Amino acid sequence: MQVQLIKRRDKQKPTRGSTREGNMDPSQEERFAFLAEWYDPNAALLRQYQFLFYPKDRSVEMFDMKNHRTFLRRTKYDDINLQDLFVGNRLNVFSRQLHLIEYGDQYTASKLGSRKEKTLAMIKPDATDKMGTIIQLIYDAGLTVTKAKMTALSRKEAMDFYAEHQSKSFFNNLVQFVTSGPVVAMEILGDEAVTAWRRLLGPTDSSVARNEAPDSVRANFGTDGTKNAGHGSDSLASAARELEFFFPSTGRGPSNTAKYSDCTCCLIKPHAIAEGLTGKIFNAISDAGFKISALQMFNMDRANAEEFYEIYKGVVAEYTGMVAELCSGPCMALEIHGSEAPKTFREFCGPADPEIARHLRPHTLRAVFGKNKVQNAVHCTDLPDDGILEVQYFFKILDG
C-alpha cells in the first residue's frame, strides 16, 4: 500500500475526539493523538507530525506540523496495536520509523498514559541462566521490556548503585555478590510497573518468598536475602535514578559483556519482541546448550539497518523487507559464545524460510517462532568469518 500524500486548504490542526477537559466527546469517534518525529535521511531533517490512531478500525492518519497539511490520509494499518502507543516508543508506519515524543491531547494522556510507569528490573548473577523464564514472566504480566543490557559491574559501580545501603551490615556482601558475575538490567514499562515487578519478584528474603509467594521469582530462583535472583526499584524516584545509572541519557553507562572471540551474532527481530517471544527464544537457545555471553536491546534507524544488511543488497529478494522489519521496533542483539558457535548456531536457527524450516527442521528457531522469510524470528551470522564482525557492529559501534 502506498502512502497517500494530499494537500488540504484547511490549515487547522485536527482536534476531533477530545474536549478541553480531556473527556471523550460522545458525538465523535474515539481516536488517540501523539506528537511524532521522523528523521528524513534524504533531507537530513527531523520532521514532526501529529499522529492519529483510530482503534475502531485500526486506521492511522498523519499531519505535517510545519507545513500544516495532511501527510497521510486516514488509512487502515493492522500492524499497530493499542499497547504500542506510549510516549518513547518507535513505530514503523509504511517504512517510516516514527518516534512518539508527546501525547497529542489530554484525552490521550489520561487514557493511555495515566498509569504507565517505568522501572528498573535487574536479574542478579545467580539467575542470569534463568533470564528467559524471568523475561517471559514479565511479558505474561502485561509489562514490556523497552531497554535491556547485560553488564558486569565493577566494585565501584556496584557501590555507587547501592549507595543508599552503605551503612547496612549486608552492604559488603551485596556488593561482592552483585559483582561476582554478569547481571541483566532492563527498563520495564507498564501499568503501575514499579508495584507489578516487585510483586513478580516476591519478598526480599527468598526463604520468606517460598512461604508467602511460592510462584515468585525469588521463591523459585533465589537462595537467601542477598542471593535473591533479582532487584526492583522501590519507588518512581528510585526507578528514575536507577534507570539513569544503567541507561544514562548522556554517555554509555556500564560496559557490555561482549567477548569478541569464538562467537556469532543473533538478532531477535522486532516482530518477535512485539509478539512477546523474547523469553521463549532465550529459553530455546539455552536449552539447546548455547551460551549467551552478551545482550543488548537496540532501536535501529534505517541507515543502520541498511548498513548491517548491506551484504544482502542485490542478492536476497527480501532485502527491502528485511531492512523495514529491522527498523520497525526494538531488536535484541545477542553474542552467542563457543568455539563452534558460528556453524552450530546457524544450523539451530534453521532455513531462512520458516515454511521450509517447519518441513525439514521443525525444531529450529525459525520453524518454531518464524512467520515468513522476512519475519522469521531471528537473524544469525551466515558466514563463520563474519561472526565477530557482526557482534562488533552492535556491541562496539552502535554501543560505542
Catalytic residues: 231
Q: In what order do the strands lie in the sheet with 291-298?
A: 230-232, 116-123, 183-191, 144-151, 291-298, 331-337, 263-268, 378-380
How does strand 144-151 pair with strand 263-268? unpaired
How does strand 291-298 pair with strand 183-191? unpaired
Alpha helices per DSSP H over 141-224:
155-161, 171-178, 193-201, 206-212, 217-221
Q: Which of 282, 225, 264, 234 is nearest to 121 (CA)?
A: 234
How does strand 183-191 pair with strand 116-123? antiparallel
Q: Is 351 helix (H, G, I), strand (E, B) or coil?
A: coil
The three grid cell numbers given for residue 248, joined into one nine-digit string? 544514562
**Residue 371 main-chain phi, psi, to 5 deg:** -115, -45
Distances (CA, A) of 274 to 139, 169, 175, 237: 10, 42, 35, 28
User: 91 has which bridge partners?
Assistant: 98
The three-state (H, E, C) secondary structure of 105-161, written as one string: CHHHHHHHCCCEEEEEEEECHHHHHHHHHHHHHHHHCCCEEEEEEEECCCHHHHHHH
Between CA 133 and CA 120 the distance in angstroms is 17
Q: Helices (H) and strands (E) in the chain — how many of each? A: 16, 14
The three grid cell numbers given for residue 203, joined into one nine-digit string? 519478598
Between CA 95 and CA 23 the distance in angstroms is 33
Q: Is 328 helix (H, G, I), strand (E, B) or coil?
A: coil
Q: Is 392 helix (H, G, I), strand (E, B) or coil?
A: helix
Distances (CA, A) of 388 to 97, 129, 342: 28, 23, 9
